[in-house]
Amino acid sequence: MSVPTPNTLIDGRYKVLRRLGSGGMAEVFLAEDQQLGRQVALKLLHDRFAADPDFVERFRREARAAAGLQHPNVVSVYDRGRWEDTYYIAMEYLPGRSLKELIHQEAPLDPVRAIDITIQILKAARFAHRRGVIHRDLKPHNVIIDESDQAKVTDFGIARAGASDMTETGSIMGTSQYLSPEQAQGHAVESSSDLYSIGVVLYELITGRVPFDGDAAVTIALKHVSEAPRPPHELNPRVPPELEQVVLWVLNKNPADRPASADEFIAALESARASILSGDPAQNTAAMAALAAGAGGLALGGLPEPVPYPPPSTNGTGEHYVERRRGWRPWLLGLLAILLIAGGAAAAYLLTRTAQAKVPSVTGDQVNVARDIVQNAGFQAAVIPVPSNRQAGVVIGEDPSGGSMADKNSTVSLSVSQGPSAVSVPSVVGQTESSARATLRRHHLKSRIVLRPSSQFVAGDAIGTDPRSGQAVAPGTQVTLFISSGPPKKLVPDVTAETASAARTQLTNAGFTPRTTTQTSTTATPGNVISQSPAGGTTAAPGSDVTIVVAQAPKKVSVPSVVGLKASAAANKLNAAGFKVVPQKQDVTDPTQNGKVIKQAPAGGQKVKPGSSVTIIVGHLVSSSSTTTTTSSSSTTPTTSSSSTTSPAGVAAP
């Protein structure tokens, strides 16, 4: 299989946008459905599985089964098909974070919040179990949580649909930290195996740790089979005993010692939650006794004993009450009479009674799903809207209660949350940004971030909200969450043209840290500041760096000697060395000096500032005879003598 790149079109329909991640069985990509215009998560089977005909057949069957699981807590599967030499599943894309990420960031969770999330996972499992689908790889990595703590279970990739003979036995599938003991041993996997895995997830939610860990998968699997989990309260003292009892119950090694179904697990958690919220631990004891009745069993040899549950109350002394009476014969006659009367009444009742059925537990389900479940069980459903802090549209109670027996076709009243009429803005002062936003979400409030300077709170911590804490607002209100950006900024003083020492003193006194660099300047006074960053008049955080650039006098350089060079060559040499050339002429009679430099100032070898001017004196040839004649005529007066020989007119005497 070629790895699809962005814009690759899968099966002529799904355009790949980007890669989301990789799992043990498949690569996952974000893609756009070109037919329906929606984003989907596209899972492409790894090559090693795509080449296995048995695995592919199981993959196709189980994808078909998963596509039938339409439930608020199950990620929807839209499509399946083949592309190149592998197979894909197109499923609902959820932009939230995984439950594993939530655990890393926030665990241990508040017990009630952990119960609410676990119940949602159980409802997804219950929905699948009723349709013969067992997940077999339930773990927090396969649960997506949105900002409102709405949970959705994904990845039914190794689920077993019905009694498929394609299911592998004798091989361990799933993630070792969340395997049930029977999975670790390669035994048959049933719905109770999923419940065990969910129990491990709940354990991790309330403690921040899995019950069994180790360096190798085999080591962890052996612990699941042979070791008792450490009681959660030893890792987190805030775990209530009634919740700990439920967790240890579901983590029993023998499936027969666990809850018989997801319904029973949900009922136990709801009872524990009610007990926690009411502050009455006794409330849960009676409920647990009813749930555990008949569910116990002998522990396997060498394994931890099953977690026991309190038996129904006796006479309050710890001993079963046995009434003893004397005179057994009158008592026996009376008893026989009573039995005859009771038998007749029972016979009449059996002949006239209406057939009964078990009321399904739908508390926590969306009202539409709950109504269908109740009606499919043979009852009428009546919806009663009630104000509640729970999410609107969720069933928060039912009468008769789930698990009880009632006449078929009778009415089950469903109390459905209208949502809270008002919620109080919680105090988040001092919490980190992520914790503060999570707190607001739990109170059904949205948030937007505004940064504000604060000398009291470190950057990233919440300093308040608008509306303020304690104020009543409508659910879903957007609350402005003020986050500290650190201490308020200060005005940076302008220190340009100051001496370096004066500038550093001024910046230090203003609360900044001066940093100094130098720069050569031919115009500024050496030792003075020529620039700064940040600039004067701007603001910066207290204690931050302010860099000042200090002028430095340029180093002197030697002037090249150009005497004797032609004027053009001398100018080129001086320009190349960075000097300015000032040429001057001087008359010469020596033809060898014509056009050449006969003198320069400054002289060659003298050190001056770079870029200084150098004057060159260039020889200019003049006639020597004209110089002589001019000099002679101007200084000698010719004389005549009668005795001398007279030269021809106009010719000078030799």
The number of CA neighbours under 13 Å toward the Cβ of 164 is 23
Question: Token match 């919740």: residue?
Answer: 243
Give catalytic status of residue 116 as yes or no.
no
Q: How many CB atoms lie within 10 A of CB 623?
A: 10
By C-alpha distance, which of 213, 206, 191, 200 is closest to 239?
206
The encoded tokens of residue 537 equal 């008049």
Residue 590 tokens, joined = 């020596």
* CA 408-411-413 angle, 5° bins: 140
β-pairing, 607-608 vs 26-33, is unpaired
With both helix axes pointing from N to C terminus, report the angle between 111-130 and 191-207 in degrees, rounded to the nearest 10: 170
Catalytic residue (one of 137, 194, 257, 263): 137
3-state secondary structure of 241: helix
Tell me the chain's radius of gyration from C-alpha atoms: 48
Residue 481 is encoded by which pair of tokens? 């969450």
Identify the burial level of 453 via C-beta atoms within 10 angstroms of its C-beta, where 0-12 means exposed, 13-18 middle and 19 or more buried.
Answer: middle
Report the distance separating Cα 144 and Cα 95, nearest Å. Answer: 9
Cα gap 400→374, rounded to integer Å: 11
Closest C-alpha to 208, from 119, 116, 104: 104
Task: Report the distance separating Cα 67 and Cα 80, nearest Å.
Answer: 9
Residue 90, phi then psi, degrees to nearest 5: -100, 125
Element (H, E) at 631: helix 624-635
User: Could you tell me which residues are beta bridge partners of residue 144?
Assistant: 98, 152
CA 371 to chain centre: 37
Question: What strands, in cross-sheet order, belong to the sheet with 143-145?
Answer: 97-98, 143-145, 151-153
Give the CA distances from residue 396 to residues 268, 387, 559, in Å, rounded to whole numbers and listed in that order.
Answer: 15, 10, 97
Asked if 546 and 513 count as a contact pair (C-beta separation under 8 A), the reply is: yes
Largest CA distance in the chain: 208
Answer yes or no: are the C-beta atoms of 484 and 457 closer than 8 Å.
Answer: yes
Provide the Cα torsion 246, 247, 251, 257; round to 10°: 0
C-alpha–C-alpha distance, residues 229 and 248, integer Å: 8
DSSP 285-341: HHHHHHHHTTT--PPPTTSPPPPP-PPPP-SSSSS------S-HHHHHHHHHHHHHH
Could you give the dihedral angle defined by the CA atoms of residues 392, 395, 396 and 399, in that order, rounded to the nearest 10 degrees? Answer: 150
Question: Of 415, 413, 462, which is closest to residue 438 (Cα–Cα)?
Answer: 462
* Cα(152)–Cα(126) distance, integer angstroms: 13
**Which residues are known catalytic residues?**
137
